Protein backbone atom coordinates (compact mmCIF):
# COMPACT_ATOMS: atom_id res chain seq x y z
CA UNK A 1 0.00 0.00 0.00
CA UNK A 2 2.91 2.34 0.64
CA UNK A 3 4.43 1.97 -2.81
CA UNK A 4 2.95 4.09 -5.60
CA UNK A 5 4.59 2.06 -8.39
CA UNK A 6 2.14 -0.26 -10.13
CA UNK A 7 2.43 -3.77 -8.55
CA UNK A 8 3.08 -5.36 -11.95
CA UNK A 9 6.02 -2.99 -12.43
CA UNK A 10 7.28 -3.83 -8.93
CA UNK A 11 7.27 -7.52 -9.91
CA UNK A 12 8.93 -6.83 -13.27
CA UNK A 13 11.73 -4.80 -11.75
CA UNK A 14 12.30 -6.67 -8.49
CA UNK A 15 10.10 -9.48 -7.12
CA UNK A 16 9.96 -11.63 -10.23
CA UNK A 17 13.16 -10.34 -11.83
CA UNK A 18 15.97 -12.85 -11.65
CA UNK A 19 19.62 -13.08 -12.63
CA UNK A 20 19.63 -15.10 -15.85
CA UNK A 21 22.21 -17.77 -16.59
CA UNK A 22 20.77 -18.93 -19.94
CA UNK A 23 19.13 -16.97 -22.76
CA UNK A 24 17.01 -17.52 -25.85
CA UNK A 25 18.44 -16.63 -29.28
CA UNK A 26 16.18 -13.58 -29.59
CA UNK A 27 18.45 -10.62 -30.41
CA UNK A 28 18.67 -7.52 -28.25
CA UNK A 29 18.31 -4.58 -30.64
CA UNK A 30 20.02 -1.19 -30.70
CA UNK A 31 16.56 0.34 -30.16
CA UNK A 32 16.14 -1.60 -26.91
CA UNK A 33 19.58 -0.58 -25.65
CA UNK A 34 18.88 3.03 -26.62
CA UNK A 35 15.55 2.96 -24.75
CA UNK A 36 17.21 1.44 -21.67
CA UNK A 37 19.96 4.06 -21.67
CA UNK A 38 17.56 6.93 -22.26
CA UNK A 39 15.64 5.83 -19.16
CA UNK A 40 18.47 5.07 -16.76
CA UNK A 41 20.63 8.08 -17.65
CA UNK A 42 18.42 10.01 -15.23
CA UNK A 43 19.62 8.00 -12.23
CA UNK A 44 21.48 10.31 -9.82
CA UNK A 45 25.26 10.56 -9.44
CA UNK A 46 27.44 12.92 -7.40
CA UNK A 47 27.79 16.27 -9.18
CA UNK A 48 25.87 14.57 -12.00
CA UNK A 49 29.25 13.15 -13.02
CA UNK A 50 27.75 10.08 -14.78
CA UNK A 51 31.06 8.21 -15.15
CA UNK A 52 29.57 4.92 -16.43
CA UNK A 53 30.68 3.88 -19.91
CA UNK A 54 29.17 0.89 -21.70
CA UNK A 55 30.91 -1.20 -24.35
CA UNK A 56 28.49 -3.40 -26.31
CA UNK A 57 30.21 -6.59 -27.42
CA UNK A 58 28.34 -7.52 -30.58
CA UNK A 59 30.75 -9.08 -33.08
CA UNK A 60 31.62 -12.78 -32.84
CA UNK A 61 35.30 -11.90 -32.91
CA UNK A 62 35.02 -9.50 -29.96
CA UNK A 63 32.85 -11.97 -28.06
CA UNK A 64 35.55 -14.63 -28.43
CA UNK A 65 38.17 -12.22 -27.10
CA UNK A 66 35.97 -11.38 -24.09
CA UNK A 67 35.10 -14.99 -23.23
CA UNK A 68 38.82 -15.76 -22.82
CA UNK A 69 38.95 -13.31 -19.92
CA UNK A 70 35.87 -14.65 -18.13
CA UNK A 71 36.07 -17.07 -15.19
CA UNK A 72 35.50 -20.64 -16.33
CA UNK A 73 31.98 -20.81 -14.87
CA UNK A 74 30.99 -17.62 -16.73
CA UNK A 75 32.37 -18.54 -20.15
CA UNK A 76 29.53 -20.56 -21.68
CA UNK A 77 26.80 -18.06 -20.82
CA UNK A 78 28.91 -15.13 -21.96
CA UNK A 79 29.51 -16.90 -25.28
CA UNK A 80 25.81 -17.65 -25.74
CA UNK A 81 24.03 -14.48 -24.54
CA UNK A 82 22.37 -12.42 -27.30
CA UNK A 83 24.19 -9.30 -26.09
CA UNK A 84 27.04 -8.69 -23.67
CA UNK A 85 28.01 -5.31 -22.23
CA UNK A 86 31.24 -4.32 -20.48
CA UNK A 87 30.52 -1.65 -17.87
CA UNK A 88 33.40 0.61 -16.93
CA UNK A 89 34.12 3.77 -14.97
CA UNK A 90 35.61 6.72 -16.84
CA UNK A 91 38.30 8.12 -14.55
CA UNK A 92 38.53 11.22 -16.72
CA UNK A 93 34.84 12.07 -16.29
CA UNK A 94 35.80 15.49 -14.94
CA UNK A 95 36.36 16.77 -18.48
CA UNK A 96 32.58 16.69 -18.98
CA UNK A 97 31.74 18.16 -15.56
CA UNK A 98 31.42 21.85 -16.47
CA UNK A 99 28.74 20.87 -19.00
CA UNK A 100 27.12 18.22 -16.80
CA UNK A 101 27.02 20.31 -13.64
CA UNK A 102 26.61 23.91 -14.79
CA UNK A 103 25.45 24.97 -11.30
CA UNK A 104 29.09 24.63 -10.12
CA UNK A 105 31.44 24.28 -13.08
CA UNK A 106 34.45 24.81 -10.79
CA UNK A 107 33.84 21.32 -9.31
CA UNK A 108 36.18 19.92 -11.96
CA UNK A 109 39.17 21.73 -10.47
CA UNK A 110 38.07 22.05 -6.85
CA UNK A 111 37.30 18.37 -6.25
CA UNK A 112 38.66 16.33 -9.13
CA UNK A 113 42.08 17.67 -10.11
CA UNK A 114 43.71 14.58 -8.54
CA UNK A 115 43.47 11.25 -10.34
CA UNK A 116 43.00 9.32 -7.06
CA UNK A 117 39.94 11.42 -6.17
CA UNK A 118 38.51 10.84 -9.63
CA UNK A 119 39.05 7.07 -9.48
CA UNK A 120 37.34 6.92 -6.10
CA UNK A 121 34.33 8.94 -7.25
CA UNK A 122 34.11 7.24 -10.64
CA UNK A 123 34.11 3.76 -9.10
CA UNK A 124 31.33 4.57 -6.67
CA UNK A 125 29.13 6.50 -9.09
CA UNK A 126 29.58 4.16 -12.04
CA UNK A 127 28.58 1.27 -9.74
CA UNK A 128 25.39 3.15 -8.92
CA UNK A 129 24.76 3.60 -12.62
CA UNK A 130 25.45 -0.08 -13.24
CA UNK A 131 22.61 -0.85 -10.83
CA UNK A 132 20.31 1.56 -12.67
CA UNK A 133 21.31 -0.17 -15.91
CA UNK A 134 20.40 -3.60 -14.57
CA UNK A 135 16.98 -2.31 -13.47
CA UNK A 136 16.57 -0.65 -16.88
CA UNK A 137 17.26 -3.97 -18.61
CA UNK A 138 14.42 -5.46 -16.56
CA UNK A 139 12.17 -2.51 -17.47
CA UNK A 140 12.66 -3.50 -21.12
CA UNK A 141 11.30 -6.99 -20.36
CA UNK A 142 14.78 -8.49 -20.57
CA UNK A 143 16.97 -10.27 -18.03
CA UNK A 144 20.48 -9.30 -16.96
CA UNK A 145 23.30 -11.57 -15.89
CA UNK A 146 25.88 -9.32 -14.21
CA UNK A 147 29.32 -10.84 -13.61
CA UNK A 148 32.46 -9.79 -11.81
CA UNK A 149 34.05 -13.18 -12.30
CA UNK A 150 36.61 -12.19 -14.91
CA UNK A 151 40.20 -11.06 -15.33
CA UNK A 152 39.57 -7.32 -15.10
CA UNK A 153 43.08 -6.36 -16.13
CA UNK A 154 42.74 -8.59 -19.18
CA UNK A 155 39.36 -7.04 -20.04
CA UNK A 156 40.78 -3.55 -19.60
CA UNK A 157 43.76 -4.24 -21.87
CA UNK A 158 41.63 -5.98 -24.49
CA UNK A 159 38.77 -3.46 -24.74
CA UNK A 160 39.49 -0.29 -22.76
CA UNK A 161 42.43 1.97 -21.88
CA UNK A 162 44.22 3.29 -18.79
CA UNK A 163 41.51 5.88 -18.18
CA UNK A 164 38.73 3.29 -17.85
CA UNK A 165 38.28 0.82 -15.00
CA UNK A 166 36.08 -2.18 -15.83
CA UNK A 167 33.38 -2.85 -13.20
CA UNK A 168 31.41 -5.80 -14.49
CA UNK A 169 30.30 -7.70 -17.57
CA UNK A 170 26.55 -8.07 -18.14
CA UNK A 171 24.82 -10.70 -20.25
CA UNK A 172 21.51 -9.42 -21.63
CA UNK A 173 18.58 -11.18 -23.28
CA UNK A 174 15.34 -13.06 -22.84
CA UNK A 175 15.79 -15.83 -20.25
CA UNK A 176 16.17 -19.32 -21.72
CA UNK A 177 15.56 -22.81 -20.33
CA UNK A 178 16.56 -23.35 -16.67
CA UNK A 179 17.70 -19.75 -16.55
CA UNK A 180 17.98 -19.35 -12.79
CA UNK A 181 19.44 -20.90 -9.73
CA UNK A 182 16.99 -21.26 -6.81
CA UNK A 183 16.14 -17.87 -5.34
CA UNK A 184 18.46 -17.16 -2.40
CA UNK A 185 17.09 -15.56 0.75
CA UNK A 186 17.40 -11.83 1.38
CA UNK A 187 18.10 -10.12 4.67
CA UNK A 188 14.95 -8.87 6.35
CA UNK A 189 14.23 -5.29 7.31
CA UNK A 190 15.26 -5.72 10.94
CA UNK A 191 18.60 -7.19 9.94
CA UNK A 192 19.47 -4.22 7.79
CA UNK A 193 17.73 -1.09 9.01
CA UNK A 194 18.68 0.67 12.21
CA UNK A 195 17.18 3.92 13.33
CA UNK A 196 19.06 6.33 15.53
C1 LIG B 1 28.04 -7.25 -9.35
C2 LIG B 1 27.59 -8.67 -9.55
C3 LIG B 1 28.52 -9.64 -9.88
C4 LIG B 1 28.13 -10.97 -10.10
N5 LIG B 1 29.06 -11.86 -10.55
C6 LIG B 1 28.64 -13.09 -10.92
C7 LIG B 1 29.52 -13.99 -11.57
O8 LIG B 1 30.69 -13.68 -11.82
N9 LIG B 1 29.04 -15.20 -11.95
C10 LIG B 1 27.74 -15.57 -11.72
O11 LIG B 1 27.35 -16.67 -12.10
N12 LIG B 1 26.88 -14.73 -11.11
C13 LIG B 1 27.28 -13.50 -10.72
N14 LIG B 1 26.39 -12.62 -10.15
C15 LIG B 1 24.99 -13.06 -9.92
C16 LIG B 1 24.55 -13.05 -8.44
O17 LIG B 1 25.00 -14.20 -7.77
C18 LIG B 1 23.00 -12.96 -8.44
O19 LIG B 1 22.64 -11.73 -9.02
C20 LIG B 1 22.42 -13.02 -7.02
O21 LIG B 1 22.69 -14.25 -6.43
C22 LIG B 1 20.90 -12.79 -7.05
O23 LIG B 1 20.26 -13.72 -7.88
P24 LIG B 1 18.72 -13.53 -8.29
O25 LIG B 1 18.63 -12.22 -9.03
O26 LIG B 1 18.40 -14.69 -9.20
O27 LIG B 1 17.93 -13.52 -7.04
C28 LIG B 1 26.76 -11.32 -9.92
C29 LIG B 1 25.83 -10.33 -9.59
C30 LIG B 1 26.22 -9.03 -9.41
C31 LIG B 1 25.18 -7.97 -9.12
Distance (Å, rounded) from C-alpha 158 to C-alpha 22? 25
Task: Determine contact, residues 105/111, Cβ cutoff 8 Å.
Answer: no
| Full-model pTM | 0.98
In short, whether 14's Cβ falls inside 6 Å of ligand 1 is no
* Rounded alpha-carbon distances, angstroms, from residue 162 to 65, 71, 95, 109: 19, 22, 16, 21
* Ligand 1: nearest atom to the Cα of 150: 8
Phi (first) and psi of residue 135, to 5 degrees = -65, -35
Indicate whether residue 147 lines ligand 1 (CB < 6 A).
Answer: yes
pLDDT in tens, 82-112: 999 999 999 999 999 999 999 999 999 999 9
d(CA 90, CA 41): 15
- Please tell me if the CB atom of residue 168 comes closer than 6 angstroms to any atom of ligand 1: yes
Identify the residue whose C-alpha is closest to ligand 1 atom 31.
146
Each residue of 11-29: pLDDT tens digit?
999 999 999 999 999 999 9
Look at residue 160 in the predicted model and tell me its pLDDT: 98
Buried b (16+ CB within 10 A) or exposed e, 125-151: bbebbbebbbbbbbbbebbbbbbeebe
Amino acid sequence: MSLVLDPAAQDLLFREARTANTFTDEPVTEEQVQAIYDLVKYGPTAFNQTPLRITLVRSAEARERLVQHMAEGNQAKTAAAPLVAILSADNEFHEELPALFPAFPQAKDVFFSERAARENAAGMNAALQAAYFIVGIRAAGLAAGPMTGCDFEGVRKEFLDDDHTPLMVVNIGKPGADAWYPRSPRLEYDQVITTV
